[in-house]
Amino acid sequence: MRLRYTLMIFTGMGALACATFGIDGYRTAERSSHEPEEISLRDLIKRGPEGNPNIILTDFSIFEDYVYQKKRLSGKWTKVWVPIIPTDEETAGVDSPAIRAFLFSEDIGSDREVRMRFGRPRLRGMVNPHAPKPGFFGERLLKKSYPGTDPNKCLIIEEGKEPASTLKLTLLGVGSVLLTGLTGGIWYLARAIDKEDAQPKPANKPQPTRGKNQEGPEPIFDAIPVDDADQYPPRK
C-alpha cells in the first residue's frame, strides 16, 4: 500500500516539475531573440528584467566580495553570486557602490574559475528573474559590503545559459504527459487490487453426513429380483 502511494507521489511530482520547467522555458524562449543581444550593463540596468533575456553582456566590472554556497562535507561550491557594476562607475572611483546586478552560476568551483569565466569583456548569459537569491546570510554580507544593496531587487544574469531549444521543450512536455498517465495508471491498478482484496471469498463447507434420525430420501441399492415360490416353499 505504501509503495503504491510513494510511486504516485514520485511520478506526480515529476510530472509537475516537467510541466513547470516546460512552461517557464517556453515563456522565456518566446521573449528571447534567436541571436543574443549585445548590451552594456548600464543599459541593461536601465531596461530592467523586461525585454530580451538572451544577451551578451559588456562594459561591466566584477567585485571579489561575492557570495557562494558549498556542500558541508566535500566543500564543493554549488552556487555563486558575483556583484558587478558598470565600468564607468569603477573608473569614477565610487567606493562601495550599491549593487544592481549579479552574475550567477551553479557550475563554478573556485576563486580561479570566477576570475577566468567572469572576468571577460563580453559574457554570454540569460537574465533570469527566477534564479536563486543569495539567501538571508548572503544578503546581510552584501548589504554590509555594499550599503544600499537589495539582492531581491537586483538583476541576475545566469552565465552561459541559453534559451531552451524546441527539442528540450518537447521532451519536457512529453515527460509531463507520460508521468501524468503513469500516475493515473498506478492509481487505477491500486483501486482494482483493493476491490479484489475486499470481495469475500466462498468458504469450503464440509458435506453433511446422514444420521439415524435424519429425514431424507432413502439410499438406493442395486437389487436382484427372485421368485417368491423358490424363496419360500409352501408348508405341507
pLDDT in tens, 8-27: 787 888 888 888 777 777 77
| pLDDT, averaged in runs of 10, over the chain (236 residues) | 73 82 75 88 92 93 87 85 87 71 90 88 91 86 86 90 78 84 79 67 57 54 50 49
- At residue 232, the pLDDT reads 46
Distances in whole angstroms, Cα of residue 41 to Cα of each of 105, 134, 148, 149, 179: 18, 20, 19, 16, 42
Instruction: Give the pLDDT of residue 102.
Output: 93
Q: φ and ψ at 48, to 5 degrees? A: 85, -170
Cβ atoms of 118 and 16 closer than 8 Å: no
Question: Domain residues of the chain, as ranges?
Answer: 1-32+163-196, 36-162
Cβ(146)–Cβ(96) below 8 Å = yes
CA torsion angle 163 54 112 133 (round to 10): -80
Q: Report how far apart, in Å, the C-alpha atoms of 236 and of each of 25, 32, 230, 231, 232 are.
A: 124, 134, 15, 16, 12
**What pLDDT is stored for residue 123 in this prediction?**
94
pTM over 0.75: no
The CA dihedral of 111, 68, 127, 107, to the nearest 10 degrees, is 60
Phi and psi at 33, nearest 5°, equal -80, 160
Instruction: Supply the pLDDT for residue 90.
Output: 67
Which helix H or strand E contains 166, and what residues bound it?
helix 166-198
User: Which amino acid, 74?
Assistant: S
